[in-house]
Amino acid sequence: MVAFGHGDREAAEEGRCRADPRPGSGADSEAGASARTEPARAGAEPALSEASAAPTGGKAAAAGAAGGIILLTLASGQFLMTLDSSVMNVSIATVAKDVGTTVTGIQGAITAYTLVMACLMITGAKVGAIIGRKRAFAIGCVIYGCGSLTTALAPNLPVLLLGWSFLEGVGAALILPAIVALVASNFPAERRPAAYGLVAAAGAVAVAVGPLIGGFATTYFSWRWVFAGEVVLVLVILVLARRIADSPPVAEKPKLDLIGAALSALGLGLFVFGILKSGEWGWIQPREGGPSWAGLSPVIWLILGGLVVLWIFFRWEDHVGARGGEPLVRRVMFKNEQLKGGLTMFLFQYLVQAGVFFVIPLYLSVALGLSAIETGVRILPLSITLLAAAIGVPRVFPRTSPRLIVRSGLLALFLGTVVLMALLDVNSGPEVVLVPLLLIGLGIGALASQLGAVTVSAVPDDQSSEVGGVQNTMTNLGASIGTALAGAILISTLTTAFVANIQKSSAIPERVKQQASTQLSGGVPFISDADLNNALDEAHVPPQQSDAALAAYQDARIAGLESALAILALASVIALFLAQKIPTVQPGAAEEAAPQTSV
């Protein structure tokens, strides 16, 4: 058990949480870590904990055709968890009309789904350790399937919230950490980069094809058929899941720390909710017409409150460990440099990835006016290079330094965003996103091929579910921050540039300029040319002034998109420097292997 300040107990626990002492792994050798054993010969698989080293049937099975089915099953689970939000984003107006609510109501359901996952992810990982990861995966699928069926039949918003936001969120919190642990228990260390890469790629592909699926279903059938199809996919996954080998059982099943679970849920919930509402309420200064707490936006108070609760949570976990209990999260894990490096890269990957998937669809569907199906088709090329890199990199470069591959992936993300910034123009068309999306897909795929194996190989296999909970929490935080940050920068720049362009225009009277400066200071919405023209016509604006306002807005809209892409490019550069903690030797590689390239 973790007991900070109690020397022998802490040393023993820290030994369990360290990675194998491989060159470049970022973890030191621990002589007293009896749970670890050294490889007996060159080329041997790195030893895991004694508990995880004993059962080999699952990994042996994974070597054959069964391994492909297992991987397909787990990847399908990851795909399913990610599909909903991307489908809903292109069907918001139709869903709102069908269930008798507003667009704001559906956006609230999307926020609630993210919140439920964020609140319960760490707890879901511990539940998997208690009842078994395979069982947690199956139960999560059943709950998720019930949520999808409820959503497909939802007659109103409360039922939609129950099915989609709550039941599917709970199911995802059980499934996602279990997937991480089950990959570790079914594949040997040298095959994990490819396995984790395909699983992570499945989630990213779901984001890319979601608009296409949602647009097609909404246009020709009904959005309800998407959720009905999810029920069928859940049933197929449950049938195939029988082939999955469960993670090795632990000698003594831990008890769930209920107080810790409540504190982590509250802290993460407050933090993520604050980030999600930043676009609507403002980060620090409240937006015009929005709520205000003590003269500040509620967002800053929610984020600060979440951080305080999380600080209390970690103090409580220290207390539980000191008493000999089972903490929800072993804080000593975060002393592991390799694990910290992997989690940091996950945060930045999903930050940039979510920001890109926010900005590019806005450009295609709003700025250019493409339909949901046309937008999905234009985004689809990203999936090609993403899958090619996620599957191909581990096969073509099985012993190349993970750090080199991760940095190459980050560089591809940076180049993709910069190229798109350079190509965007008022007169540019949808074809300008092709090359940037191919580069971004290559970067995401390269990162996906390495990061899962990096984090899980940093600890014994019996802690893989715990790592899965923390890892998915970081990806959730990264995606929330990326979307909120890109959105805030986009609207802020759009507003500033639009007001500035109006002031420069000679076709707009001074009286209108003064009104614009006052009325638009609270923020300008990101809308299409058609919507702006309709608004100007309804306001009876003269044609000459209307044309000038439209030109000013078009320039400002491009400036907003470029600024959002610039902040994502900056995040990629920051991640390049932070990638130093990623190891230079692949999991499963022999210590005597040839020296790897390090950058």
pLDDT at residue 8 greater than cutoff 60: no
Would you state the pLDDT for residue 21?
A: 37
CATH number of the domain at 56-254, please?
1.20.1250.20
Say whether pLDDT at 206 is over 90. Answer: no
Q: Which of 170-179, 241-250, 420-429 has the lowest mean pLDDT?
A: 241-250
Task: Check whether 55 has a pLDDT greater than 80.
Answer: no
pLDDT at residue 183 in the model: 87
Query: Which carries the bigger pLDDT value, residue 15 or residue 538?
Result: 538
| Whole-number pLDDT of residue 516 | 66
State residue 574's pLDDT score. Answer: 96
| Largest interatomic CA distance in the chain | 83
55 backbone dihedrals φ, ψ, rounded to 5°: -75, 120
Residue type, 28: D
Average pLDDT over every residue of 383-408: 89
Measured CA to CA, the distance from residue 151 to residue 218 in angstroms comes to 15
Phi then psi for residue 509, to 5 deg, are -65, 155
Q: Name the phi and psi angles at 378, rounded to 5.
A: -70, -30
Better pLDDT: 151 or 36? 151
563: which 2 tokens? 């600024």
Residue 593 has pLDDT above 70, yes or no: no
C-alpha–C-alpha distance, residues 476 and 271, integer Å: 11
CB within 8 Å of 590: residues ≥ 6 apart: 39, 42, 43, 44
Q: Is the pLDDT of residue 487 over 50?
A: yes
Q: How far, in Å, CA of 161 to CA of 164, rounded?
A: 6
**CA torsion, ordered 108, 111, 113, 119, to nearest 10 deg:** -130
Q: In this structure, what token pair is assigned to residue 222?
A: 């009904």
Task: Say yes or no to pLDDT of 182 above 50.
Answer: yes
Residue 28 pLDDT class (50, 70, 90 cuts): very low
Rounded to an integer, the average pLDDT of 223-227 is 89
Element (H, E) at 220: helix 192-220
* CA 75 – CA 127 distance, rounded (Å): 21
Average pLDDT (445-450) is 90
Phi/psi at 245 (nearest 5 deg)?
-85, 130
Asked whether 77 and 239 are in contact (CB, 8 A), the reply is: no
d(CA 124, CA 114): 15
What would the 3-class secondary structure string for 39-58 be? Answer: CCCCCCCCCCCHHHHCCCHH
- Please, which residues bridge with residue 296 across strands? 293
Six-digit token pair at 517? 């400066």
Q: How far is CA 297 from the centre of its chain?
A: 26
Q: Which of 170-174, 222-226, 251-255 has the lowest mean pLDDT?
A: 251-255
Nearest to 146 by CA among 238, 19, 79, 25: 238
Q: Please give the residue that has the higher pLDDT: either 130 or 251.
A: 130
pLDDT at 521: 62
Asked if residue 148 has pLDDT above 90, the reply is yes
Average pLDDT over residues 93-111: 78
> In this model, does residue 424 exceed pLDDT 90?
yes
558 φ/ψ angles, rounded to the nearest 5 degrees: -65, -40
Sorting pLDDT into bands at 50, 70 and 90, what band is 213?
Answer: confident
Question: Of the ranges 108-122, 152-166, 239-253, 255-269, which one carries the lowest mean pLDDT score?
Answer: 239-253
Question: Pick the residue with more confidence: 184 or 159?
Answer: 159
| Residues 6+ positions from 533 with CB-CB distance below 8 Å | 546, 550
Q: Which alpha helices (DSSP H) does 457-583 contain, by range?
A: 464-504, 510-519, 529-538, 543-578
Of residues 375 and 63, more confidence is placed in: 375
What confidence score (pLDDT) does residue 398 get?
A: 84
Percent of the chain whose pLDDT exceeds 70: 83
Q: State the pLDDT at residue 541.
A: 79
Q: Which residues contact 202 (CB under 8 A, 6 or more apart)?
A: 75, 76, 78, 79, 82
- pLDDT tens per residue, range 273-316: 888 787 778 888 887 777 889 889 899 999 999 999 999 998 99
pLDDT at residue 250, as a whole number = 60
- Between CA 353 and CA 350 the distance in angstroms is 5
Q: Helix H segments across 154-287?
A: 157-160, 168-186, 192-220, 224-240, 258-276, 278-281
Q: At what angle do helices 133-152 and 168-186 cross, to 10 degrees?
A: 150
C-alpha–C-alpha distance, residues 409 and 406, integer Å: 5
- State both tokens at 473: 């929490």
On the question of pLDDT at 597 being above 80, the answer is: no
Out of 24-28, 226-230, 435-439, pick the least confident.
24-28
Q: Which token pair is 137?
A: 């995966």
pLDDT in tens, 118-145: 888 889 888 888 888 899 999 999 999 9
φ, ψ of residue 293 to 5 degrees: the values are -115, 115
Backbone angles phi, psi at 296, to 5 degrees: -120, 160
* Whole-angstrom distance, CA of residue 207 vs CA of residue 352: 13
